[in-house]
Structure 1
Amino acid sequence: MFDDNKTYAVMDIFYQLMTNKKVSTEYMLSKYKKDSRTLQRYMAIVKAFIKQMERNIGIEEENLSQIVYSKKDKVYYLDVKHISEEATVILSLLIQIKSLTPYLSIETKSFFEKLKKKEVSIREHHIIDHAIEYFEVVNEYIPEDLFEIQKIIDLNKKMNISFYDTEGHMKEIKRVKPLNIVYQYYNYYLIYEHKHKIKNMKIIDIIEYVAYQSDHFDGSISKDPIVLEIDRTHFDDFKKTYQICRERVNKINENKRVEINISREDAFYICYQSNGLVKIVEPTGLVEDYKNKLKLLLDQY
């Protein structure tokens, strides 16, 4: 009912271009039932509107988008010469997530789609959508208690934890020192100290937990700390992820040596993922264990 309406035709062309679609001459002739000169006027209106819209939000003249006509394909398309800061931030975040996991939970995908609609212009939607397509969307369970457990960690409170062990048996440990939450092996892990040993467990295996309101710990280094050497170029990124207890400089190469509350498995994972930017220094026995694991891996090839 709107096909003969000029306003509808202009709005339709605008929407097609802004959503990264190519608009063919054949499409317009068939849909709007107008001659080519009328369609050129419609396209001129859309072109002027897009330029004015971009000027209003502060885009410089040389960076204004252009409507381009391809004689070969007989289609119009929008050549975007810029991307907004908001779209860049969202895209950067997706790329960082992709470096950690090939999976994206349905909830996380929904979050990015809401963020996209709220913060990003329509014509940039396809850029975000394309980045999301690189992930396998799964029904991954995001632990509901992530935020509450992180608050307990921040307050240095001890806690009792009931959980399922690797064989599916229910167990309870008391007066645990929760140290950190990390995402590795495509799961969220709680790093904790219990009876002077650093261990970890999947947060999804936690059945229930209770924090001691008056029993705090000082967050100091455990009895047998793991010492890692971090390449100086990687140190700033490393300390944003892991809680460092003590640090010093290796005067020979200016790399950082840190004492850190992590389990042996965490140390192996960090070193393996770092591509040589992190290495285990102490304890010596752990260094030998890691070398033996790497040797076993190499022997398979």
Structure 2
Amino acid sequence: MSEAKRGAEGARGSAEGEQRRGTLSVVPTPIGNPRDITLRALDVLRTAGLVAAEDTRRARRLLDAHDIDVRVVSCYDHNEQARTKELVDALNAGTDVALISDAGTPLVNDPGYLVVGAALAEGLRVDPLPGASAALSALVGSGLPANRFLYVGFLPRKSAARRTALTEIAPVAATLIFFEAPHRVVEMLADVCEVLGDRSAALVRNLTKSYEEWLRGPVSQVHADLAARDEVKGEVTVVVEGAPRRDAAAGGVGGALDPDRVIELLFGAGLDTRTVRSLAGALTGLHRNEVYDRVSALRPR
């Protein structure tokens, strides 16, 4: 046998001897309507050697509905760290793993971040599938700009901490997307209106379900509608208009307008304090608290 042939066969044998490593697929599942699962997602679930699910009972209902028989293990907030090593070991041993959450896309306010990070650190293949997402569905149905957005998720439960978090994102010139629990959403909207101002907003309950409901309008209007109800139920997503762009608000050459000069000119035109605050905020794009302080300091005595 020639040396070249022996070398080729040796290389082939070495390649054949290498153990195949599995793929971690991140699989979105329906957020309401059970038909909102892709054909590709079903293919991946059928061929997976293991499914890691946020809730094994909900996962089993989904799999049974599509006649998929596969081993399922739990992977949720309280056991994800311990489960991650087991899943990475399975991937390294050649098992394809599908990661799913209760609804929507894993990692987006759901478990999975530790698993994906560990898989990537091991040099394993991670395959994120497109699919259902409450955040994106709410955004595109809100009527608000979708070219720039910030997914915020859940705000803190306590009002003081919630207002602090809102103050931090108040200057962001991008549409804001929030999740909120139904029993807290009225209080949350009141804080949004107080801190961010009465911006345009959209609220959707129970996305993709037969009783899906949309409310659109100023934050104060959406708040008033929900506050008048005896109870709010269901999964809630809130989309709020972003802060005005500083460059757009300036409207001229040379950058943003000088807020103090704007306030002085408005007072010089004989406008009352409330009108000056409103116009100064709209013209400069400053946060309402900063406008309030500047107007108070510059108000004629």
TM range (shorter): under 0.3
Considering Cα pairs closer than 8 Å and 6+ residues apart, tell me whether 1 or 2 has the greater RCO. Answer: 2
- TM-score normalised to structure 2 length: 0.25
Bigger Rg, structure 1 or 2: 1
- TM-score normalised to structure 1 length: 0.25
Structure richer in strand, relative to its length: 1
